[in-house]
Structure 1
């Protein structure tokens, strides 16, 4: 019997749910049942961690109830959440399922992209943001979509490449106060290229924003950041111009901001470490990418 193909996935959050949905779409009813089980369990645990739900059982009792020691169902583990008091939080650990006739072993990682970079696995799912933050080269011109990303990865730096995006579209969006935008101007990349002054971003996204906008557009621009505990949209409203994530843009509008160009999709991506590719991993990769409009053509 062939060995299962290991696939690194996030332990929690939107990228994990997007990965599970893609695995369910490619793997059939059993995979869909597994995906629903894991997603509903982790949403419930998130609600408990945030204090919006309660459970009389202790965290270890819940962990034992959720996990399948025989290996036929999902297993979970505990991590320290970064909320006040650092409560223990139940997150995904591992599971086995079948996709396109091949056994797959899902392995939970805090940052699956790094597991691929260190050659622990050949395939994995993670946020496109992390790829831009870590390995996409900074050049005068920016990137606007996933098709630009692989060309900006230095092959001497990593063997990891993006296979496809999953379309769970949250976007890095330009936003500004009406007073910042001159009459008739479009709030887009060209606006930033002509702009001089402060641009408010979340501190972790500094390199990402540089990669997306390009170094030329940021000449004369100074990055500033929200105060601790301050909402990003509120900080952008104080600054006048910024970049932050949007789904509907409702929060930004509540702060009086105008939404401009969607700069880059903050979506979950399927990635491959080309140096670790085998016939089995390639076959699984094709099955997982099948039917996705944003699948990238091989170089």
Structure 2
């Protein structure tokens, strides 16, 4: 049996999206639910919303039954919250599928592990790909389908295979007072005509440059939320900005109008094309499948 190792996040919604996708593709819903519920419980303990009934090492030993084939394993990491509490996170699990085993292995930075050729396949945020390897051009980047064309082949062998559809959107947000300044809808065209400050999260600066296009932001300067200020509140104070939205309710609560959805933020399947094999191709076919609806279909 050939094992295909796949790098995945150690915790959070991206890992849940991966587990849910594999559950749908392989019929392992109970296993996915077990891992997700365990990590959600541990997250609640770390954030002080649950009281643990056992010591962290006892819980870790209870979760990781290494004598049972296919059982999930977990690790301890230092969380970056105040006091740096120890947090139980995902380590690995092996799922037999046809002639291969798909082994999910937790990594803090799956995308970078693929860039270093440690894995052939992995899952990470599309945002990280834009922040690290997508080239900036005058024209905007509008979809996942165009990401690979913006990656310099001399920079990395990693390419986006497919999104998982767990999409939230980087969205243009503005106050009515700002939108009234120009005879334009709140789209990329508005930014091209706009001259002033645009509030963004500092971790998304290069992403915003890519999805708006360098031509549109020639007369725009970025500003960032002060420490302790939410992005929506900072955008409302600035008058216009870009941030992630799901329903837009928080933006509306701050008096903001929702404009164009600029780019989907979702978990993506990545492949290091230099590490391909028949087994990797088989694993990719299992993961993507014909039922996965996303902006980018597997090639």
Match of 2:286 in 1: 287
- Displacement of 1:296: 2.9
Work out whether residues 236 and 256 of structure 2, in 8 Å CA contact, stay in contact via their aligned partners in 1. Answer: yes
| Residue in structure 1 matched with residue 272 of structure 2 by the alignment | 273
Tell me the residue number matched to 1:251: 250
TM-superposed deviation, 1:80: 1.4
State the alpha-carbon separation in 1 of the partners of residues 228 and 79 from structure 2: 17
Shift of 1:235: 0.6
| 8 Å contact from structure 1 (residues 75, 94) kept in 2 | yes
Alignment of 1:29-40 (within 5 A): 31-40=28-37
Q: C-alpha deviations, 1:147-177, integer Å up to 9, x for none?
A: 0100001111111111111100111111011
Shift, 1:224, TM fit: 0.6
Give the aligned partner of residue 50 of structure 2.
53
Alignment match, 1:135: 133
Deviation at 1:185, TM superposition (A): 2.8
CA distance in 2, matches of 1:231, 1:101: 49
Aligned residues: 295
- Tell me by how many angstroms 1:100 deviates: 4.2
Superposition CA RMSD, Å:
1.2
Give how far 1:72 is off: 2.9
1:240-291 Cα deviation digits (max 9, x unpaired): 1111111111111111111111111100001111000000001110121112
Report if the CA contact (8 A) 1:26-1:99 is conserved.
Answer: no
The aligned counterpart of 1:232 is 231
Structure 2 residues without counterparts, runs of 5 or longer:
none
TM-score of the two chains, using structure 2 as the length reference: 0.96
User: Using the alignment, how far apart are the partners of 2:26 and 2:96 within structure 1?
Assistant: 6
Cα drift, residue 99 of structure 1 = 2.8
Structure 1 counterpart SS, 2:2: coil
Helix, strand or coil at the partner of 1:113: helix
Residue 64 of structure 1 is matched in structure 2 by: 61
- For 1:297 and 1:144, how far apart are their aligned partners in 2? 18
> What is the deviation of 1:56?
2.6
> CA-to-partner distance for each residue in 1:2-23, whole Å, 9 max, x for gaps?
3311001000011101111111
> How far, CA to CA, are the matches of 2:265 and 2:106 in structure 1?
20
- Asked if 1 retains the 8 angstrom alpha-carbon contact of 2:2 and 2:100, the reply is no
- 1:163 counterpart residue number: 161
Contact preservation (8 Å) 2:2, 2:279: no
Do 1:23 and 1:99's aligned partners in 2 also have CA atoms closer than 8 Å? no
Which one is further off, 153-162 or 63-72? 63-72
Deviation at 1:32, TM superposition (A): 1.7
Q: 1:166 to 1:226 in 2, by over 3 A?
A: same
